Each structure stands twice: as structure tokens, then as C-alpha cells.
Homo-oligomer: A and B are copies of this chain.
């Protein structure tokens, strides 16, 4: 089960082994898993290596540690993904719906103003501007405008933007997305939005502004989106900060 000479780190192999047992139902929610010392003897590895695996799964929400008692399988593994940043495509698939895209506009424009500043594009730089209607089960769900630095994702084509931009950046370009900040506000549809999304004027809209960053904090994209208020709920899981020192 554990290969000490694999290029995969041992702690990672342990993580996968534990997650597999949870997914298979071998260990159910609330069950106590073997102690760190038991793992250590079972696989003939150091307890510190076991701890590294368990620590990662705890911060990912798979396990819960209780000192003096043991380590337990967390409840609600379904909701795990609520804590992670997802693309529209992943979001819709996670809800059991079929994501789709209608491309309204795809162009490069010269960067300026606060958008250029956020994307850290120097004067005279170019950026992609992508307008899309995102659909779920073939019904319009949101209107999206995305800005990307041309320098960062050079060679982006129209074909690439029909699916998940996150998937493209991660799989094709091999970059690692780190985090995003999002601002959500409630609004109502005006004429243009109501026509594109097929809803009435004055119907509720959920506006989301997203700034995405790579792992090294390079700004990746800006997305402005307007979701149909009657069909979309934004769901998010949040952890309480360990450090509530000053505020």
C-alpha cells in the first residue's frame, strides 16, 4: 500500500490511503481512525510523517483531532468543496447541472485604469476581455466579463474560453491558482441584463466581483458576473480564524 521508494512523498500516500478508506465507506463519519502510533507501526514509518498526513487532512476538513481521545472522520464530506475556490464550470457540475457557455465577445484591449492596476499590467500592456453568458442545463444563469493579462496567458484562443478558464490555466499552462477575493452584492436587472438572461426587469441579480491570484500572488484575472437571483445561490464554507488577536 505504501511504497517508500515511490517519488510520491510518504505523507501524501498516507493521505490518499485515508481518503480512499473514507470514500469507500470503510471508515464512516464520526468513526475513530487508527492512532498515529498505530499508523506508524502499521507502515513502518515515523510518527512525524503520519502527523504530516493527518495534519493536512485536518486542515482540508476530512479529519478532526481531539487530544487525549483520538482522530475522527469529519462529518459532511459532501460540503468539503464549499470551502474551496471553484470555477463556474466546477460549481455547476458540483450542483449536478450541465455547464455551458455562449461567447458574446473576445478581444484584446489596451489596459488602463484600475483594472490594469489590479492585474499589474504596465503602461501600454494588453489584456484579454471576454464576455460570456454562462448557462446551466441550457438555461442562462449568469453574465460574465473576464479580464486577463495577455502577458500571463499568452496565446489564449476563442476555443479555450468555452470551458473552464481555471482548468485551462492549471492543466494547459501548468500554473497553480492560489486564492481569490470575492465581493457579492444584491442588485436588480436592468433592460440589457434582463434581455440577455431572459428575466424580467427589476428581477433580483446577484453581482459577484472576483480577483483571482496565483500561488505566488501574481494577479490572474478579474471577473464581473451577474447571476440570476431566482436560480442561483452562492454557497460558501468559512473557517473561524485561529488567530483573532487584534481587531
Contacts and interface: CB of A to CB of B under 8 A. Distances in A.
Interface of A: 19, 48, 56, 59-61, 64, 66, 74-76, 79, 81-85, 90, 93-94, 176-188, 202, 204-206, 215-217, 227, 229, 232-245, 247
Contact of A229 (B48, B56, B187, B215): B187
Contacts of A232: 185
Contacts of A184: 184, 206, 233-236
Given A64-B216, A217-B75, A229 B186 contact: yes
Given A64-B217, A204-B204, A56 B187 contact: no
Contacts of A90: 247
Contact of A237 (B93, B180, B187, B242): B180
Given A241-B83, A242-B60, A243-B60, A206 B233 contact: no
| Chain A at the B interface: SS class | mixed
Contacts of A202: 188, 202
A80 to B, nearest CB: 8
A184 B84 CA distance: 16
B238 A180 contact: yes
Nearest to A185: B233
B241 A84 contact: yes
B183 A186 contact: no
